[in-house]
Copies of this chain bind each other. A is one copy, B any other.
Amino acid sequence: MNPDQHAFNLKKYLEEQRIKVEKALDRWLTAPEDISAPVFEAMKYSLMAGGKRVRPILVLAAGHAVNSDDSFLMPAACALECIHTYSLIHDDLPAMDDDDLRRGKPTCHKVYGETVAILAGDGLLTYAFELMTDPELNNEIPPATLSHAIYLMARAAGVYGMVGGQTADMQMEGKQVDADTLHFIHTRKTGALLQASIEIGAVLGGGTEEEIRRLGNFGRNLGLVFQIKDDLLDIEGDQEKLGKPVGSDDRNRKATYPVLFGIEATKKKARELLDQALAELEMFREKGEPLQAIARYVAERDR
């Protein structure tokens, strides 16, 4: 077989998945015509303000790797985007990072005010679990499988995952951190939800224990690559491309891999983690191609 014959078109794959996800998000989040409408508007504003839909696409790609079709995966894909978006809304609040812009657009609290932004974050987090258990959306998934996926999601989003990582990050702001602390923050703040996205896709897609384990390892490494690359981009990036001030983390003296280890060592680390991630995908052969291509893209992206 000539590898060129099935050269995987990542751009096309990502675009197709992104459109499916955004259609589902649009369909499953409809503001009611009552006085609670502002919170829906704020939720939808942030949810539809762009973004690469990395987490939902990872759910789909992991599910595809174990031969699942989208109907088993899409509610969880959207749920993870709701959780990711809630975390952005709350992170941007004045009491947190105090950011006015996100993806080049005014942040939720700049448009709707702090009160509604807090509630919109709360609403999105809760809505994730509504999506996961809505009987109209999930009636084909074995309930025990669903419950396992919800546990992975809650665990990765909560105090043992993203919330814990965010807390640690805020605690260490402006302080000297060592490599272990940095690893703790990175694996929890961003890595946990990325890894969970992949595991959840594997679980809901009906993967074997071996497949779920392999994809989980892939996800853990991918999460680290993602965060390390973010740190590199934050130092090297171009303000216009990113839509946020370059070096803002550095200005606030937040710990990052490049600050701690230097740029070249950090780049080397990212390459090693990428290789480890790719090795976990071998058993999936061509069904793992989307995840392979995504991992390479995450490691090599310039924004």
Q: Could you say how many copies of this chain the assembly holds?
A: 2
B39 in contact with A123 (CB, 8 Å): no
B154 in contact with A133 (CB, 8 Å): yes
Q: Output the least CB separation between A157 and chain B (Å).
A: 5
Tell me which residues across on chain B come within 8 A of A125, comparing CB atoms. 122, 125-126
Bound-state CA distance A119–B166 (Å) is 8
Closest chain B residue to A34, Cβ basis: B184
B143 in contact with A118 (CB, 8 Å): no
B170 in contact with A151 (CB, 8 Å): no
User: Among the listed stretches A88-96, A230-238, A259-267, which one makes contact with chain B, having 4 or more residues with CB under 8 Å of it?
Assistant: A88-96
B115 in contact with A159 (CB, 8 Å): no
Q: Kindly state whether residue A291 has any CB partner on chain B within 8 Å.
A: no
Chain A residues 108-152 with CB under 8 Å of chain B are 113-116, 118-119, 121-123, 125-127, 129-130, 132-135, 138, 142-144, 146-148, 150-151
Chain A residues 180-215 with CB under 8 Å of chain B are 181, 184-185, 188
Q: Output the least CB separation between A154 and chain B (Å).
A: 4
Bound-state CA distance A119–B113 (Å) is 19
Q: A143-B146, A159-B127 are in contact. Are A35 and B90 (CB under 8 A)?
A: no
Bound-state CA distance A95–B143 (Å) is 39
Bound-state CA distance A150–B129 (Å) is 8
A115 in contact with B96 (CB, 8 Å): yes
A158 in contact with B126 (CB, 8 Å): yes
Q: Which of the residues B122, B133, B147, B185 comes within 8 Å of A121, measured between beta carbons?
A: B122
Q: A150-B129, A150-B133, A151-B135 are in contact. Are A38 and B119 (CB under 8 A)?
A: no
Chain A residues 32-50 with CB under 8 Å of chain B are 32, 34-36, 38-40, 43
A147 in contact with B143 (CB, 8 Å): yes
Tell me which residues across on chain B come within 8 A of A181, comparing CB atoms. 35
Q: Kindly state whether residue A172 has any CB partner on chain B within 8 Å.
A: yes
Which of A135, A158, A163 has the largest count of B CB atoms less than 10 A from its CB?
A163
10 residue pairs, one from A and one from B, having the closest CB atoms: A36-B164, A143-B143, A126-B158, A95-B114, A133-B151, A129-B154, A39-B167, A143-B144, A35-B168, A130-B154
Q: Which residues of A contact B (CB under 8 A)?
A: 32, 34-36, 38-40, 43, 86, 90, 93, 95-96, 113-116, 118-119, 121-123, 125-127, 129-130, 132-135, 138, 142-144, 146-148, 150-151, 153-155, 157-160, 163-168, 170-172, 181, 184-185, 188
23 contacts between A and B (CB under 8 A): A32-B160, A32-B164, A35-B181, A36-B159, A36-B163, A36-B165, A39-B163, A93-B95, A95-B114, A95-B118, A116-B170, A119-B163, A126-B158, A127-B154, A127-B159, A129-B150, A129-B158, A133-B147, A142-B143, A143-B147, A146-B147, A147-B147, A147-B150
